Structure 1
Amino acid sequence: MSPNRRDLLALSGALAAGGLLAGCLAPVQGDDTVTVESDESPVTPDDVGDDVLRRLVADNTDFALDLHGTLAEADPNANRFVSPYSVSVALAMTYAGARGETRQQMGQTLRFSLAREKLHPAFHTLRGQVNGETDGDAESDDSEPRPFTLTGANALWGQEGYPWRDAYLATVEANYGAGLHAVDFASDAEAARQTINSWVADRTEDRIRNLLPKGSVHGLTRLVLTNAIYFKANWQHEFDEEKTTSREFTALDGSTAEVPTMEVTEDFQYAAVDGHQLVELPYVGGDVSMVVVLPRDGRFEQFEQRLDAARLSTLLEALDEREGTLRLPKFTFESATSLKQTLSELGMPVAFDQNDADFSGMADPEAGKLFIGDVIHKSFVGVDEKGTEAAAATAVTMEVSSAEVDPPKPFEMTVDRPFLFAIRHRRTDAVLFLGRVVDAAAARE
C-alpha cells in the first residue's frame, strides 16, 4: 500500500485468537510447521454475487448489534467502542477450523447464514472492498490516491512443529491473507506475546498496544489469530474550531458537565424518526461515513435495547439531504474488554469448553484438544474538528486441555445527552466500528 493511502484515515482493529493444545509454538518466523492432511477440501476465493455479499453484511450487522447490546447491558454507564467487523473477521478465521456443535453454536452466534463454500469467499470479497483492493472495473490511478487510510491485515501465529491441517491453513490464507508465522509458546511465551503485540501496534499506528496482556498466552497456547484494521480520515465538511465552545452534556446517570462541543452548518443526510434524530457525516472521498444517532430525550436505554439490523436499516433509509446545524461533543477514549462471557451468553459456550470444544478442522486432535481460552478486544477512537481516528484489536486465545418538493426547513441537532455512533463503509454498508457515548465528560483523553 502506498504511503498516501496510509496517511489520511486511521481505523485499526486487531483480532488475536490464541489456542492452547498439548503442543508448542516457537518464535521462529517461517512456515516450517508439520501439517496433517485432511479429507475436507480447502475453500478457495471465488466470485460472489452482490446478493451473497449483502447477506454477509446483513449477518455481520446483526452480530454487531447483538454484541453492542450485550456489552451495554453489562455496563450501562460506560462509554464503549468496538470494531464488530474486526471481531467477525477474526472469529470467522477461527470458525473455519470448528466442527460439530462448536461450529453450529459459533455460526448461530456470529449470525453466519452462508455455507462455508460461500462464507469465506464472501469475507475475501468484503475485505478487498473495504481495503480498496477490489474496485471492479475501476482503473487505479496513483496520481489520485485514496483520500483516507483504511487498511486491514490478518496473520496466524502457530506453534512451531504443530500438526496443523493443510486444508485449514489454505482456507485462511487464501480468503483472509493470513499466513502462518511459527512462534514458540511452549518454550518462550513472553517472546511470542511481544512479537504479536508489536505486529498489532505496527499495523494500528501504535494506537493498539499490548493487545495480549501478560499471562494471556503461555506454555499451552498453540495458536493466535490476529486481525488489524486502521482508519483515519478528515471530515468532508470540517467543523470550525472557532465555533467549538463548552456546552452542558447530561450523562446517562443524570449528572451534568461542561464539555467541548463542535458546531457545523452544512447540507447533510439527516432524518428525524419518532423523535429520534440521526445525521450522516461523510469523510473525504465519500466512501466512509459516521452516522450519529441521538435517541429521544429520556429514551436512550429503551432505544438502544430495541435497536436491531432491521431498525437500523429503516432509520438509514429515512436519511435525506437537508441543511442544518449539528453540535457534537469532541471525544477521545479507549475500550478494553474480555468477550469470553459475552460470546458465551450470546450462544457459543461450547467453543470455550476444554472438554467439548471441537476445533479438529485446525489440527489433529491427537496432539491435544483445542478450545478458545478468551477473546480480548481493545479499541481507540478520537473525534475532533478535523476528522476521526479509530483503532480496534481482538485476541482469541485458543488453548488445549423522487419529484421536486418544497425544500425542508433547516434542522438543528444538539448532541447534549447519550448518543450512539457508527462508522460504516458506504459501498457495502459494512459496520466497521460501533460505539456509545453516555458520559461525554469521561470521553476525554
Structure 2
Amino acid sequence: MFQINKCCLYTIVSILVLIALLSSITGCAKRMKSANLMNDIRTETVNKKTVDEKFITQTANFSVDLFKKAVKDNENSLISPLSVLLALAMTANGADSTTKEEMELLLTGGGSIEELNEYLYSYVNQLPSEKDSKLNIANSIWFRDDEDRFTVRQDFLQKNADFYGADAYKAPFNATTIKDINLWAQNNTDGMIDKIIEKINQNAIMYLINAIVFDARWKNVYTKNNIFTGEFTAWNGTKSNVEMMNSNESLYIKDENATGFIKNYQNDHYSFVTLLPNSGVSIEDYISSLTGEHLLSILENTETANVLAQLPKFKFDYTIEMKDALIDLGLKTSFDSKSADFSNLGNSSVGNIFIGEVLHKSYISVDELGTKAGAVTIVDMNCGSAMMGYTVRLDRPFIFAIVDNKTKLPIFLGTVMDID
C-alpha cells in the first residue's frame, strides 16, 4: 500500500473566443488601453433556475457529443465543454429565427436560450472556488469601434453582463486591440495563456471570450516513493518508458467495457476521473458508444474499494477547429454567411453577421508536483476492514475528465493516446 503525503497541484485553464464576422451580400496585471464599458453600468437582478436533472442530463449529453466530435484519431485530446457552452450561450443571446432555434436545440435540447441563461447563471455561481480548489470563470465581449459598419445592441451587452458577468470593450480592432485581447487572456488565466489571437480578420466585428482557470491540490498527494519507471503502449503499439505515479484510491468505476478510478482534490469539490477501455476494446469504439447519460451513470455508481491506481506523467497541447463539429451537431445556419440571423446582436450596414469559425486550443501537463492545463477556443463569427482490491494501470490509451462532484458534469474531457 502506498502512502501519500506531499502536495500536488492541479491547474487547468480554458479560453474560448467567439469572433463575429461581416459578410457582404456579394462576398491585475498589465493595464489594457481599451476601456471596459461595463465599469459604470450595474448588472441587473436576474431570474435563476435551480440546477436540476433536466439541465444536468442535457449538459452532459452536449459535453460528450462535443467531445466525440472533437477527438481526433490517434491524437491526445483535451476540450472544455463548459467553456464552449458558455461562449455559445452568450452568442445565442444575439440570435433569432432559425439560427436561434438551432442553437436552442443543441444547447438546451429543445428549451429556450432564456432558460439556459438562468440555468447557467445558477450553475456557474454554485461552482465552489476556494484556496486549494480554485475555479475562476471570466467572460468578455469585444466589438469594433466603427458605427458606419456595425452598431451593437445595448440589450445584448446588458443580458450577457447580467447572466455571465461579461465585460464589454469597444475597440478599433487594430494592433492595440490584439495586445489588449491577449492581455485580457493573460490576466484572466493567471498568465498561463498569453496569446490567443495573432491577427484580426478584416471582416471581424466582435469577439466573445470565455476564460476558465482551475487550480486545485490533490486531496492525497504523491511522494518520490510513489513514482517508478513504467511502460506505456501508445495507440500504434509503440512502447515508451514513462514515470508512473502510484496511489491507493478508494473510488472504483466500471461498465461492461472499461474500468477506472476517481481521485479527489482538496475540499472534495472536484475530482480527476479516468476510464481505461478493457483489453480488446479500442478507445475509438468506446468513445463512439459513450453518451452523456451513460457517463453520469458511471460516475453515480461508484464502488468503494481499494484501488491500486497507476497514473503516468504526461503533457501535450491540442488544437481543433470546431466549425465542422458544431455544424454536424446542428448549428447549420449559424455559420452560413447568407442565412445566419444574429440580428439581436447588433446592426450591420455592410453585410450579414455570422460565425466564421470555432477554434479550441488546449494544453495539459500532469506530473508528481501537479497538473497544468490550458485550453483556448476561438469561435470566428464572419471544462478498518479489508476491502475488495482492484488495479487500474493506465499504461495504454485512456480517457480522463475533471468533474464537478456535485453534479458529476465534466468541466474538461480528454484522451491520452501517446506519451512522448
Task: Confirm or deny a common fold (TM above 0.5).
Answer: yes
Give 1:367 shift.
5.6
- 8 A contact 1:283–1:387 mirrored in 2: no
From 385, 403, 409, the counterpart of 1:424? 403
From 177, 180, 185, the counterpart of 1:195? 180
- 8 A contact 1:172–1:178 mirrored in 2: yes
- Show CA shifts across 1:27-71 (max 9, x none): 742439xxxxxxxxx9962131242xx433322221111121112
Q: Per the alignment, do residues 275 and 223 of structure 1 end up closer, same or farther by CA in structure 2, a change over 3 Å counting?
A: closer
Q: Normalising by structure 1, report the TM-score.
A: 0.83
**Structure 1, unpaired ranges of 5+:** 1-6, 33-41, 133-144, 400-405
From 142, 153, 175, the counterpart of 1:165? 153
**Structure 2, unpaired ranges of 5+:** 1-7, 25-32
Structure 1 partner of 2:76 = 79
- 8 A contact 2:104–2:112 mirrored in 1: no
Q: Are 1:60 and 2:66 matched, yes or no?
A: no
Alpha-carbon separation, structure 2, partners of 1:43 and 1:121: 13
Give 1:193 shift.
2.1
- 8 A contact 1:9–1:230 mirrored in 2: no
Structure 2 partner of 1:273 = 255
Q: Are 1:375 and 2:374 matched, yes or no?
A: no
Give 1:296 shift.
0.4
Structure 2 partner of 1:288 = 270
Structure 2 partner of 1:260 = 243
Structure 1 partner of 2:306 = 323
Q: Per the alignment, do residues 297 and 373 of structure 1 end up closer, same or farther by CA in structure 2, a change over 3 Å counting?
A: same
Q: Which amino acid aligns with 1:45?
A: V
Q: Per the alignment, do residues 47 and 238 of structure 1 end up closer, same or farther by CA in structure 2, a change over 3 Å counting?
A: same
Q: Are 1:181 and 2:185 matched, yes or no?
A: no
The DSSP-based 3-state class of the residue aligned with 2:236 is coil
- Matches of residues 36-435 of structure 1 in structure 2 within 5 Å? 45-51=46-52, 54-72=53-71, 75-130=72-127, 132=129, 146-160=131-145, 161=147, 162-185=150-173, 188=174, 190-214=175-199, 217-266=200-249, 268-299=250-281, 300-366=283-349, 368-399=351-382, 408-435=387-414
Alpha-carbon separation, structure 1, partners of 2:171 and 2:23: 15
Give 1:349 shift.
2.4
The DSSP-based 3-state class of the residue aligned with 1:212 is coil
Instruction: Give the count of matched residue pairs.
Output: 396
Q: Which amino acid aligns with 2:103?
A: M
Between the two proteins, what is the percent identity of the paired residues?
30
- 8 A contact 1:193–1:212 mirrored in 2: yes
Alpha-carbon separation, structure 2, partners of 1:183 and 1:131: 33
Give 1:112 shift.
4.3
Structure 1 partner of 2:12 = 11
Alpha-carbon separation, structure 2, partners of 1:196 and 1:204: 12
- 8 A contact 1:59–1:113 mirrored in 2: no
Alpha-carbon separation, structure 2, partners of 1:31 and 1:393: 24
Structure 2 partner of 1:136 = none
- Show CA shifts across 1:239-281 (max 9, x none): 2322312211111122211111111124x21133325212110
- 8 A contact 1:106–1:348 mirrored in 2: yes
Alpha-carbon separation, structure 2, partners of 1:195 and 1:314: 43
Q: Over aligned residue pairs, what C-alpha RMSD do you find?
A: 2.4
Structure 1 partner of 2:28 = none
The DSSP-based 3-state class of the residue aligned with 1:208 is coil
Q: Which amino acid aligns with 1:14?
A: I
The DSSP-based 3-state class of the residue aligned with 1:272 is strand
Give 1:313 shift.
1.9
Q: Normalising by structure 2, report the TM-score.
A: 0.88
- 8 A contact 1:44–1:171 mirrored in 2: no
Alpha-carbon separation, structure 2, partners of 1:324 and 1:20: 51
Structure in which a larger fraction of residues adopt strand: 2
The DSSP-based 3-state class of the residue aligned with 1:163 is strand
Alpha-carbon separation, structure 1, partners of 2:191 and 2:317: 13
